Amino acid sequence: MKNWPKVKLGTLLTESKVLSENPSTDNRIRVKLNVLGVEKRPVTKDKKGATKYYIRKAGQFIYGKQNLHKGAFGIIPKELDGFESSQDIPAFDVDDSCYPEWIFYFFKKGNFYLKLDGFAKGVGSKRIQPNQIYDLEIYLPNKDEQKKILNEIKKAEFKNREILNEIYLQEENLVRLRKSILKDAAEGVLTMDWRKEHPNIESADIFIQKIKLKKESLIKQKKIKQDKSTDSLITDNCDWKLNNSWTIATLNDIFSFIDYRGKTPSKSLEGKRLITAKNIRFGYIQDEPIEYVSQDVYDKYMIRGFPKNKDILFVTEGHTIGYTALVDVPFEFALAQRTICFQPYLEKMETEFFFYLFLNDQFQSIILDNQTGSAVKGIKSSKLKMIPIPIPPIDEQKIIIKKVKGLLKNCSNLNEVIRSNKENSVKLFQTILLELLGEENNKLIVENKTRRNVKKSLSRDIKYNDKTINMKLVELLKLHGKLHAEDLWKMSEYYDDKNINDSIDKFYSDLKTKIEIEKTIKEVTNEKGYIELV
């Protein structure tokens, strides 16, 4: 391997620029992220403009300028011969001295493509241009040796795929097992033997009566308002299986609903945490994004109450409708729109049972069946309140919670083993790639962004104003006129000094939309890095 010559990648790749004379939206290709290959792009309407499209040929190496460092590269397959892409997805003829697959695995081995992140340049949208990868060095043995090695790689890849397919099957079975546990919990299967051993337990009707008395007391004390909802009881898909001593009640019978009604709350750089629908995942609360509201905004919740630990959060709108999480955080927080907090009328109630019930497939189906809306679908609070749910006696709820916790912990342990096996399989294949292909040790000279930004800051007119922060991009440009991208970012709603990378990504994503699609903002001609309104 040490005797293999090294050549510049640019000596092997020639960008293909065969212009399509009759471009068609039905004849486009795209490159998927995470090295998942090249495929036909779904038919979409062409945006107005003078975008040029180029004919692509089977066997060409192709990559996405904006996403090469995210694994958007591949070889054009035979079935996509003659398809088209724009110059943002360039394709390259490969020199006869090299198999296209040799270049493909050059980028894949050791996840080398991830290291190209720093190559991406631009203001509105960051791209990696062909001339930036041309200087990369690649080992180039003769074609006979390339073919022999590529055959070995394909054998290893086949075995690795067999292992991964088995792992994927294990993952699917684990998902089914979790669903089965939640279903058995909601139907009382997990406590079947327990009920036989405890025939004289207190009925769930008595439990509901206690909640009713507590609710009436809270209304009299004017701590909550009398519900005036006129929605009828939801019946579709609500044929819950009930056991002896179980009963049916609505969510409104059990919980007080806390939500934010009004405009999207103004965010601040500090204050009380804000939990949004993005934080609520299926079964847990994730920390990102970290956002805040002022104390004044938080105090508005005094009217409706505050979320507490052991309450249940629920997403009411959007593609994550039905996502639910049990509150267990060491801080006070406010809720954003599209979320609701279910707070039990009885303070010491075992809410975990209801949390598991909300994760159940049947409950999730009820939510989807009752969502409304066109552009963004959601479910109204008044509808949620009228969903009937099965209620076991309080003692049985405690047993169900204990059993489900134990079973789900076993599932988590199994998942950890599966995850570890998947990682080991991927690492093994990467080791094989590096052993077979070698490591060129390309020195990626990436400009230090921090040092560059400091240098630019010292040599330009800085318009940053800390009194006009947390604003939308267009509003900032209307107020200040032409701004450097760095100043625009630091004063925008996206700036977050605790999570710089995510903050910059969100900023550039919105900037790109406004430059390329909405065309409300443009880059200043002859003043690199500056932005202004169109």
**Residue-level pLDDT at 499:** 65
**Residue-level pLDDT at 457:** 40
The pLDDT tens digits for 463-519 are 767 667 778 888 888 888 888 888 888 888 888 766 666 677 678 778 877 887 778
Q: Are residues 214 and 361 in the same domain?
A: yes
Q: Are residues 195 and 212 in the same domain?
A: no
Q: Is 193 within the bounds of a domain? A: yes
Q: Which of 446, 462, 477 is the last residue of a domain?
A: 446
Per DSSP, the three-state class of 95 is: coil
Q: Are residues 388 and 477 in the same domain?
A: no
Which residues neighbour 494 within 8 Å (Cβ) at sequence distance 6 or greater?
503, 504, 506, 507, 510
Q: Which of 392, 411, 429 is the last residue of a domain?
A: 392
Q: Is 227 within the bounds of a domain? A: yes
Beta strands in 72-228 (DSSP E): 73-75, 84-86, 91-94, 137-139
d(CA 179, CA 177): 5
Q: Which of 368, 392, 416 is the last residue of a domain?
A: 392
Q: Are residues 380 and 262 in the same domain?
A: yes
Q: What is the DSSP string of 379-428?
A: --HHHHHT-EEEE--HHHHHHHHHHHHHHHHHHHHHHHHHHHHHHHHHHH
Q: The domain containing residue 151 runs over which residues?
A: 145-201+403-446
Q: Are residues 37 and 47 in the same domain?
A: yes
Q: Is 161 within the bounds of a domain? A: yes
Q: Is 398 within the bounds of a domain? A: no
At residue 249, φ and ψ (nearest 5 deg) are: -150, 160
Q: Is 280 within the bounds of a domain? A: yes
Q: Are residues 192 and 236 in the same domain?
A: no
Among the ranges given (71-80, 460-469, 490-499, 518-527), the one the predictor scored with the smallest mean pLDDT: 460-469
CATH code, 19: 3.90.220.20
Q: Is 335 within the bounds of a domain? A: yes
Q: Are residues 224 and 338 in the same domain?
A: yes
Q: Is the peptide bond before 77 cis (omega within 30 degrees of 0)?
A: no
Supply the angle between the helices 352-359 and 143-187 in degrees, to the nearest 10. 130
Q: Is the pLDDT of residue 223 over 70?
A: yes
Q: Is 498 or 422 the better-scoring residue by pLDDT?
A: 422
- What the block records as the tokens of 438 is 């070698």
Q: Are residues 328 and 316 in the same domain?
A: yes
Q: Are residues 91 and 107 in the same domain?
A: yes
Q: What percent of the chain has pLDDT over 90?
A: 60
d(CA 474, CA 521): 7
Per DSSP, the three-state class of 6 is: strand
Q: Is 1 within the bounds of a domain? A: no
Q: Are residues 93 and 184 in the same domain?
A: no
Q: Are residues 366 and 253 in the same domain?
A: yes
Count: domains in the chain: 4
The helix, strand and coil proportions of the chain, stated in percent and rounded to the nearest 5, come to 45, 15, 40
Q: Is the pLDDT of residue 453 over 60?
A: no
The pLDDT tens digits for 431-446 are 999 999 999 988 876 5
Q: Which residue type sits at 199?
A: P
Q: Is 397 within the bounds of a domain? A: no
- Say if CB 274 and CB 293 are below 8 A apart: yes
| Cβ-defined contacts of 39-45 (< 8 Å, 24+) | 39/80, 40/80, 40/83
- Say if CB 489 and CB 505 are below 8 A apart: no
d(CA 295, CA 315): 24
Q: Are residues 30 and 47 in the same domain?
A: yes
